[in-house]
Amino acid sequence: MAEDLIIRRATDADAEAISAVIVRALIEVNAADYPIDAIAEFVAGADPAGVRARLAARTVFVAERGGEVVGTAGLEETSSGAALRSLYIRPDRHGEGIGSRLLETVERIAHAHGYRFLAVPSSITGETFYLAHGYARADGPGDDPHVTIPLGKRL
Ligand SMILES: CC(C)(COP(=O)(O)OP(=O)(O)OC[C@H]1O[C@@H](n2cnc3c(N)ncnc32)[C@H](O)[C@@H]1OP(=O)(O)O)[C@@H](O)C(=O)NCCC(=O)NCCS
């Protein structure tokens, strides 16, 4: 039987584990879609200090399976709306439905906070996943178009 999947709010104590998940995904998965210097820059920004800064600025969730942090996602709320940020699953746990559960969690919390649209500045790597979950091209946060693809969905 599959081990239970727990989705919970992240705390500062999760910073190292979240960083490790993001760095593994960047190196093992996203590296297929980005130049190595871009990956190096993303990895540097995903160190525990970078994660702690995001924990202070966003509502961050972790997914735990077998007592380990295996995924993370964040909800960013600004004057221009709600955005999903930094959805990463540990590569050895891809395809188990964890990304879908985290995405649903962020959508539910954004809706509960009064938002009716969720923007996703998607990685090149993640676009197919979001399209399969009802997202489409949209005007999104003004991120570098070489780095992210602006997607969004009505909630
Ligand atoms: C994209 C990502 C978050 C998906 O997480 P996951 O836990 O593997 O996704 P799920 O198991 O919930 O997959 C749901 C569906 O998406 C599909 N899918 C997962 N990753 C995919 C990908 N990279 N491309 C295309 N389809 C993908 C799965 O096949 C599955 O389809 P199915 O239900 O019809 O079988 C994960 O692959 C990841 O961490 N990627 C690297 C980091 C990244 O780019 N994140 C997005 C940042 S914006």
Give nearest CA residue, ligand 1 atom 46: 126
87-107 pLDDT, tens per residue?
A: 999 999 999 999 999 999 999
Rounded to a whole number, what is the largest CA-CA distance in the chain? 44
Ligand 1 centroid–CA 34 distance in Å is 17
Question: Does position 42 have pLDDT exceeding 70, yes or no?
Answer: yes
Domains parsed from the chain with CATH numbers: 5-154 (3.40.630.30)
pLDDT given for residue 73 in this prediction: 98
pLDDT given for residue 3 in this prediction: 75
**Which two tokens mark 149?**
């693809």
Question: Does position 1 have pLDDT exceeding 80, yes or no?
Answer: no
CB 55 within 8 A of CB 69: no
Regarding the beta carbon of 99 and ligand 1, being less than 6 Å apart is answered yes
Give nearest CA residue, ligand 1 atom 15: 129
- List phi, psi (to 5°) of 23: -65, -40
Question: Does position 48 have pLDDT exceeding 90, yes or no?
Answer: yes
Instruction: Please tell me the pTM assigned to this model.
Output: 0.93
Q: Which of 129, 144, 151 to mutate to test the pocket of ligand 1 (most atoms within 8 A of CB)?
A: 129
Q: What is the mean pLDDT of residues 12-34?
A: 97
pLDDT-above-90 percentage for the chain: 90
Count of CB atoms situated within 10 Å of the CB of 81: 16
pLDDT given for residue 145 in this prediction: 62
Regarding the beta carbon of 124 and ligand 1, being less than 6 Å apart is answered no
pLDDT mean across residues, the chain:
94
CB 72 within 8 A of CB 21: yes
Regarding the beta carbon of 87 and ligand 1, being less than 6 Å apart is answered yes
100-146 pLDDT, tens per residue?
A: 999 999 999 999 999 999 999 999 999 999 999 999 999 755 566 66
